[in-house]
A and B are shown apart, each in its own frame.
Chain A
Amino acid sequence: MENRFQALLMGLVLGAAIVYLFMPIAQAPGPAGNRPAAAESADGKARPEVRAGNTLAEVRNRGELVCGVNQGLPGFSNPDDKGHWSGIDVDYCRALASAIFDDPTKVKFRPLNAKDRFTALQSGEIDILSRNTTWTMSRDTQLGLDFAGVSYYDGQGFIVHKDSGIENAADLDGATICTQTGTTTELNVADYFRSHGYKYKVLSYEKNDEALAAYDNHRCDAYTTDASGLAAVRLKMKDPSQHRILPEIISKEPLGPAVRQGDPQWADIARWTLFALINADELGVTSKNVEEMKGSDSPRVRRLLGGEGAYGHMIGLTDDWVVRIIRHVGNYSEVFERNVGTNTKLGIERGLNALWNKGGIMYAPPIR
């Protein structure tokens, strides 16, 4: 029996020795610079360890930005049949890549469903989440992420079958509503119907396609999502003229890009890239006139385009960062009109998203 004990001890010592030998690998965080290369080499999959504080260096080392986007929402992020992405959320990521690399193509888009998007950001699988995500307090505080700002002011609405005779939201008392799970829409519907004392039933599908198919088959009286999404949904229907978007907007949905907490510099880059788009819109700097505008006398334009001050350096970029953004992507107005504006199929008016001095609420702090 004594032998057993001795053997056991030997084994434990051996085990401890093995652990001790491998300890440096398991525990050492490693220098910032060489980790991405080492972690990416194996299979390109997400790295389990979570880093903070050096996202910019990591993105530069990798040579591209990884951006989490919607799997398919026309106007915001939608791949065409050649795998080319387009939309407001997509263009924001291109703007970010332009600011860093002076090359809007250095973005890898990672399509995410509503449920998995935050996990993807938390785990470091993506550098930035630009996926029509509503900025709410619980998301901002509980999920370990920071919102960079609002890139689109949206609100939740309903679409119904015309033959149902539903004219406005008050007619929805007792109705069955279809939606996608993992979004704020489930809560907004509950709030809205509860506060009005209406009865309702809600069906939450994992994927939008099934939710729409169910609505199309009259399983639900109404389908609900953000108003911008409803315009896209109506286009997807067999006969768009048979569907009506109700006039009521039942919630505030400020959509914007989000980054992981713990890297203030990266959060600043994300925030000011968005503000640069809006400020350029306000100052009339477009992709067409950006080269001429560099010679502008206006101090505000000169600061924006790097003629005065070293604003790019303050966030770890070059001083012509805004020039790069505008040259490749355009200003906010160009992005908006190109993707969802009145000349597109979606035909959405600027509305709330017009600049603050043009009847909307789109407002960016000044660059100074």
Chain B
Amino acid sequence: MAGAPTKGKQKIGLKWSNPAVQSVVYQAALIAVVLYGGWVIVTTTQANLARLNIATGFGFMDNTAGFGIVQSLIPYTEESSYGRAFLVGLINTLMVAGIGIVLATILGFFVGVARLSSNWLVSRLAWTYVEVMRNIPLLLQLFFCYFTVLRPLPPPADSLSPLEGVYLNNRGVVVPSPVFGESSTLFVIAVLLSLVAGYAIIRWARKRQAATGEIFPAWRTAIAIVLGVPALIWLVGGAPFTLDLPVYRGFGFDGGMRLIPEFIALLLGLTLYTAAFIAEIVRAGILSVSHGQTEAAYALGLPQGRTLRLVVIPQALRVIVPPLTSQLLNLTKNSSLAVAIAYPDLVAVFAGTVLNQTGQAIEVIALTMAVYLTISLVTSFLMNLYNARVAIQER
């Protein structure tokens, strides 16, 4: 910085005219003011809360929650603690965000590529989808999804049953759940081993092709192994699990697994909305690759699909990944709209019901914000790792 030119003039360095001195003074003053401001806010808040007799601290997390939650992946009853309710909400948020991220990315890529299709109908359809979806507020789309999913479906007594044991009604989708029997351990191990083997074969084939140019049908072999080995064990050792069929009783179905309509509507809304933005990012990424690259690939005799997969997409990714990351973060944060349609996510359960029952707004909201911050930073970190891998290597 200012080090090199002022080296010989140490004695007159501390003059106001020295820009380095000025900048340090200003920065130190700003930091002092900011720190003091933060300190004032914290102490004032504490003093006011104490004066108003409002309970503080995180002691409430161990108290009995006393309310029910409609969807929980971990054991939860009314006797569980607020801390447990927090976990239930967190897991529900992660579930809808995780599945949403995968689906939105896949759908977004398809629509983005379709938008550039030379087929007039396909590209117009993709264009319409993008323009409609990204220009309507997400909350309205969620209501739309929720009530259009709900309205036409029959009540549980007249459930639609497209398959044996699968029921569709306005309480959601119920499917048979697997109950793992004795031979299931062996089966799970076999599935995992065959997955590892399949992956190893693909890597080996890729290396060999790079070294020798010989092509080995790696994908076909891998799929055969992944499907074949477990199937063999199934045939020899008998079914590894039995099915727990849902039974209609009173107001709905007992047994089986269910997806509640709130989850389906939220997932649908988040996916469709975010995919529209991802599609535009993908389109921009592909367009950023010079047309010369495509022409060169054609000239080498690569077919259209491979040109896209091997030449265009890898170069487009370095443009796509950073904005894609922010869309994925948006999806996660937008999942907090769940409370509007009664999906029990973190905001609905913790920043809603728990907050209202304990009244400890500062603790509850701070914790909720910290959770979203953590989820977003982790997502961001993973995407940055991926970005470093796909970024162009300068040589």
A-side residues, CB < 8 A to B, are 2-4, 6-8, 10-12, 14-16, 18-19, 26-27, 49-50, 52, 114-115, 118-119, 122, 138-139, 141-144, 173-176, 178, 181-183, 186-187, 189-191, 193-194, 200-207, 210-211, 213-214, 217-219, 221, 260-262
Contact = CB atoms under 8 A, between A and B. Distances in A.
23 contacts: A3-B20, A6-B14, A7-B25, A7-B28, A10-B25, A12-B29, A19-B32, A49-B48, A52-B52, A119-B361, A142-B54, A174-B250, A175-B250, A176-B251, A181-B352, A181-B353, A207-B340, A210-B340, A213-B147, A214-B342, A217-B147, A219-B171, A261-B52
A201 B373 CA distance: 31
B309 interface: no
B112 interface: no
A210 B342 contact: yes
Contacts of B51: 50, 52, 262
A15 B357 contact: no
Interface of B: 10, 13-14, 18, 20-21, 24-33, 36, 40, 44, 48-49, 51-55, 66-70, 78, 143, 147, 150-151, 155, 170-171, 249-252, 261-262, 339-342, 344, 348, 352-353, 355-361
A122 B355 CA distance: 14
A218 B152 CA distance: 11
B118 to A, nearest CB: 44
A115 B355 CA distance: 8
B348 A181 contact: yes
Nearest to B36: A19
A23 to B, nearest CB: 9
A211 B344 CA distance: 14
B36 A202 contact: no
A205 B13 contact: no
Nearest to B18: A3
Contacts of B252: 174, 176
B59 to A, nearest CB: 11
Contacts of B356: 114-115, 118, 181-183
Contacts of A174: 249-252
Contact of A14 (B25, B69, B341): B25
A77 to B, nearest CB: 19
A215 B55 CA distance: 36
A204 B251 contact: no
Contact of A3 (B14, B33, B150, B155): B14
A318 B99 CA distance: 65
With most chain A CB atoms within 10 A of its CB, the pick from B18, B341, B342 is B342
A14 B70 contact: no
- Which 4 interchain pairs have the tightest Cβ spacing? A11-B28, A15-B32, A144-B52, A144-B54
Nearest to A191: B66
A105 B131 CA distance: 49
- Which residue, A143, A183, A207, has most C-beta atoms of chain B within 10 A? A143
A187 B357 contact: yes
Given A7-B21, A176-B252, A203-B70, 16 more contacts: A8-B25, A11-B27, A15-B29, A27-B40, A139-B359, A181-B339, A181-B352, A182-B356, A187-B67, A190-B78, A200-B68, A206-B348, A210-B143, A214-B342, A219-B170, A262-B52
Contact of B53 (A26, A144, A194, A219): A144
A118 B53 CA distance: 13
Contacts of B348: 181, 204, 206
Contact of A138 (B150, B341, B355, B357): B357
Contacts of A204: 342, 344, 348, 352-353
B170 A190 contact: no
Contacts of A114: 356
A218 B155 contact: yes
A10 B28 CA distance: 8
The CB with the most chain B CB atoms within 10 A, among A7, A52, A143, A221, is that of: A7
A59 to B, nearest CB: 18
Contacts of A14: 25, 28-29, 32
A206 B171 contact: no
A142 B354 CA distance: 13
Nearest to A117: B356
Contact of B170 (A10, A178, A207, A217): A217
